[in-house]
Amino acid sequence: MFKYPVSWIPENDLSSVKGFEDDFVKWGKEMKFINNDKEEMKIREMTLDKYVGYSFADYDYEKMLFFCKFGGLWSFWDDIDVEGCDDILLSEKKFSKLFTTRGKYDEKLLDEYDGAFNDPKVSMKDIENDSYPICIAWMQLCDELENKRSKEFVKRLMNEMKFWIFASLKEKNAVINYRNTKKHISFNDYMKIREYGIGMIPTSSLIENIIDYELDPDFFKHPSMKRIRYISCIIFTLTNDSFSFWMDIKNEWVNSIIAISQEKNISYEEGSKKIVDYHNKIVKEFDMIAETLDMSDDIKKYIQHLRVTLRGFAEFGLRSKRYIKDRDINVKNFGMKFSIDYY
């Protein structure tokens, strides 16, 4: 059972609010990256109303809708151009120029990355001849954000997005190897990829947009804040992997439960217990570290919303249609059942 303090529950419960999903589909059709019933169904299986309603419950609709577009477009891209595409180099070619003008990305830097570095932003005019609709939709969001936030903030976010994308492509390489050899990447190596591939780093930056307060980049250099950001990535990974476990088993996709179970030579049931115990331990560590930080009211607000978002992503995962359909079919094959509780 995944456990959270009651202080991680938002003041407002917007989990039943409707509209985000319909507004995203309308936008997708306008931007022409949703063109048929199959693509629309893929979006609706994401359960975007709950994705946003649980995770960003204390803020106005427009800011929540912007995140819905940002996160929903990411998930759609991941389904289409990573999980659903065997030509990883094609995905890299399509998207690298959106987030860097340096040319081919050096994968070795993934393991050394520790914050933003200076890459110039690519604007709409640089891809005006690119007809790929997801690219155009990304740049619309980037340009909209640049009208509201500082250039430094947008540059930082684009760098974080670049690592999110390339970590996902690296994860796909691990999947291909797993399918071919039946040997899963090690737990530590998997978590190193997921630290960036789960997308919690750019998500935490988007929280700054939602609360309308940009953090000083030097704040992220503080050892305690580095640890909080890392823990946030791992918390999200562990809940996401647990709720998507049955889907990942069906698709032969990499997953932390599979990784630790293979590594320790234990059953999936035993592996899942280790994942839950690890999650509950670092949730407590998050709060312990946060209590030691000398925080202004704005930073306190940021940290609290980080808590709300992490807890919200877990509640969303528990209810996501895309996970439930495989769980309901395959749960009888494994003695595992995940739930959420509070203390």
At 98 the pLDDT is 58
Mean pLDDT of 133-160: 83
What distance in Å separates the CA atoms of residue 29 and residue 81, rounded to the nearest whole number?
A: 18
At 122 the pLDDT is 45
Extract the tokens encoding 12: 């407002």
Instruction: Specify the DSSP class assigned to residue 105.
Output: -
In sequence order, what are the beta bridge partners of 342? 4
Task: Give me the half-sphere count of Cα atoms (radius 13 Å) on the Cβ side of residue 100.
Answer: 20
What confidence category does residue 58 fall into, taking pLDDT thresholds of 50, 70 and 90?
low
Report which residue type is found at 253.
W
Contact 136, 31 (CB under 8 A): yes
Of 263, 243, 229, the residue nearest 330 (C-alpha): 243
- Torsion angle, CA of 140/78/70/287, rounded to 10 degrees? -150
Q: Tell me, letter by letter, the H, E, C secondary structure of 298-337.
A: HHHHHHHHHHHHHHHHHHHHHHCHHHHHHHHHHHHHCCCC
pLDDT higher than threshold 50 for residue 110 = no
Q: Per-residue pLDDT tens for 63-78?
A: 889 989 988 998 888 8
Contact 279, 311 (CB under 8 A): no
Q: Per-residue pLDDT tens for 9-19?
A: 988 776 677 78
Contact 244, 323 (CB under 8 A): yes
Between the CA of residue 271 and those of 127, 182, 277, 280, 293, what are the distances in Å? Answer: 46, 17, 10, 15, 34
Of 294, 150, 177, the residue nearest 158 (C-alpha): 150
At 88 the pLDDT is 60
pLDDT higher than threshold 60 for residue 342 = yes
The least confident of 111-115, 130-134, 331-335 is 111-115
pLDDT higher than threshold 70 for residue 196 = yes
At 92 the pLDDT is 60
What confidence category does residue 52 fall into, taking pLDDT thresholds of 50, 70 and 90?
confident
pLDDT higher than threshold 70 for residue 112 = no
pLDDT higher than threshold 90 for residue 286 = yes
Higher pLDDT, 54 or 89: 54
Mean pLDDT of 102-109: 42
Structural domains in the chain?
A: 2-342 (1.10.600.10)
Mean pLDDT of the chain: 83
Q: Above pLDDT 90, what percent of the chain?
A: 43
Query: Please, what is the Cα angle at 282 between 110 and 336, to 5 degrees?
Result: 95
